[in-house]
A and B are shown apart, each in its own frame.
Chain A
């Protein structure tokens, strides 16, 4: 496929002045598609911003019938969600730094020639399709004393074989002359890696740093399995237990007026709060994300 990245314009169609019928048709279809995506989110925003009473009376409205920030207030007061935020931020930052370091070093190494490269690469690729499974992996975590530890998530979740493969092809595309010039200057592989390659691949690294950070941010499965203490819960596990009302389902004692039922408003407010960080950064970072996909497409 194509090795050069598209530069500026995304439109290949020849420029025309006036909007034709076709232009309008395209515009309308795309607008409807965008609305289709936005409506569920907007609906959730409205529900999160109104009182439970208003929601019970009119489950669907275009604007909050009785505006209230009580749902958000409730979540903030309750504290679980903010614990989730703290832990997830902690895990995302440290995890991204560590796993990017390991991935980039490995990707660079695989872009060079060395004895045993083919075997090691195949062994790495093999893990993409074949794994020991949930229980054996958990037992390994236990042996490493990573149960109920944020380190378990930090160390395990972030390294992605797929990312390494793409980073590798990124490194492979750097001009050979640069490396040769450095070698003539007496630089060893480490120096080349840190002084030449890393600065050269800045944008690519930025992109994959973001991908990795999003992966950590959204991680649910292993945090659910590994973390026990409520003080170490991550955002997605807290969110999931609010949304799924799993806690209420376990509540079956007799005289029990179980009061921890989350109203639809609280659920939607929780979802909104978890989305906010991504929503805030996304529009500014979009072009980096897109670049990542383009580099990925180069590989195939």
Chain B
């Protein structure tokens, strides 16, 4: 027993400089992430401004029960799930398609230029992108002017509940598809060229090559990213929705993150309740991610949790 302790002591001493390197990081996580977690007790309390977090009265699970009896909260949960699963459908495949197309493109130089165009929006903030998109889709914006000049009726994209979600997916694709495609392009580049040669010998056209060679070869990448995306199903892009949202589309666009924001600031203050909703979201998140991680490991991947 004592020799085991001694050995532990020795390996700790040997790693002393490693611990030294860890200090700033540990301090950061302790101060900015773990210390605030104590504030989660608010989820079990009724907040009172005068008494503060610790003095406020305990209410048990009441705040959590309230989540399921509050229609707006239930709507927010439903919207979060609906929007995210739709994102899987309408956003996830787009970079794969783009990667396939870029891969098929001739001319290295022009390809470079195009890739610059596709990827740069990723580095702009949502403040910038949403302002530009709102301008583009506004009633007197470019899209509507084109529609009107071809004799069509102007469409209020930004305030139309039926069109708002498609607009979200479209905007997200515009901003992120180029960036997300890089990873697939990398995977495609690593495919053994002899596979294509063999396919050409067999008389396969380019479409067939893409379908029978490229896609199967990058399947592992696709599956991994897909599962990771499923694991993020409770995070549906707060900033994008927050900037583009307006009252007429609130019903279809209020997600958990924007809901937490509005119950914290815009409605009757109820920090206990908003903390509970946040905690609920975190727990679901954790469950989804641990399961996603487990599935990736089952499929032979490394997993995200090391």
Contacts and interface: CB of A to CB of B under 8 A. Distances in A.
A49 interface: no
Interface string A259-300: 000001001100100110011001100100110011011011
A10 B239 contact: no
B295 interface: no
A129 B15 contact: no
Contacts of B188: 12
Given A9-B108, A282-B120, A129 B285 contact: yes
A108 interface: yes
Contacts of A200: none
Interface residues of A, number: 102
Interface stretch (B62-70, B81-89, B156-164, B270-278): B270-278
Contacts of B135: 40, 43-44, 47, 264, 267-268
Contacts of A137: 32, 36, 39
B136 A40 contact: yes
Contacts of A109: 18-19, 21-22, 25
Contacts of A151: none
Contacts of A30: 101-102, 105, 114
Contact of A123 (B29, B123, B220): B29
A268 B135 CA distance: 9
Given A105-B22, A129-B289, A221-B239, A22 B206 contact: yes
B258 interface: no
B132 A296 contact: no
Interface string A225-262: 00000000000100110011000000000000000000
B238 to A, nearest CB: 8
Interface residues of B, number: 108
Q: Is the interface of A mostly helix, strand, loop or mixed?
A: helix
A13 interface: yes
Nearest to B218: A1
A13 B196 contact: yes
A294 B184 CA distance: 9
Contact of A135 (B26, B174, B185, B274): B274
Contacts of A59: 140-141, 145
Given A23-B106, A30-B101, A130 B286 contact: yes
Interface string A111-138: 0111100101111110101111111110
Contact of B189 (A10, A105, A112): A10
A290 to B, nearest CB: 6
B12 A114 contact: yes
Interface stretch (A65-73, A185-193, A201-209): A185-193
Nearest to B107: A27
B119 A140 contact: no
B211 to A, nearest CB: 14
Interface string B93-128: 000001001111110100100111111110111111
Contacts, number: 301
Interface stretch (A31-39, A75-83, A89-97, A174-182): A31-39
B25 A134 contact: no
A54 interface: no
A132 B123 contact: no
A134 B271 CA distance: 10
A274 B189 contact: no
B187 A297 contact: yes
Contact of A12 (B34, B131, B193, B207): B193
Given A22-B206, A140-B32, A60 B142 contact: yes
Contact of B106 (A5, A27, A34, A130): A27
Given A44-B131, A114-B19, 6 more contacts: A30-B101, A59-B145, A115-B11, A132-B35, A136-B275, A267-B131
27 contacts: A1-B187, A2-B186, A10-B108, A12-B196, A13-B104, A14-B197, A22-B205, A23-B105, A26-B104, A43-B135, A108-B21, A109-B25, A115-B11, A115-B12, A122-B305, A125-B304, A125-B305, A131-B33, A165-B304, A189-B17, A189-B18, A274-B125, A278-B120, A282-B123, A293-B183, A297-B183, A297-B187
Interface of B: 8, 11-12, 15, 17-22, 24-26, 28-29, 31-40, 42, 53, 98, 101-106, 108, 111, 114-121, 123-128, 131-133, 135-136, 140-142, 145-146, 174, 178-179, 182-183, 185-191, 193, 196-197, 200, 205-207, 209, 214, 220-221, 224-225, 228, 238-239, 243, 260-261, 264, 271, 274-275, 278-279, 282-283, 285-286, 289, 296, 301-302, 304-306
Interface of A: 1-2, 4-6, 9-14, 16, 19, 22-23, 26-27, 29-31, 33-34, 36-41, 43-44, 47, 59-60, 101-103, 105-106, 108-109, 112-115, 118, 120-125, 127, 129-137, 139-140, 144, 155-156, 159, 164-165, 188-190, 193, 214, 217-218, 220-221, 236, 239-240, 243-244, 264, 267-268, 271, 274-275, 278-279, 282-283, 286, 289-290, 293-294, 296-297, 299-300
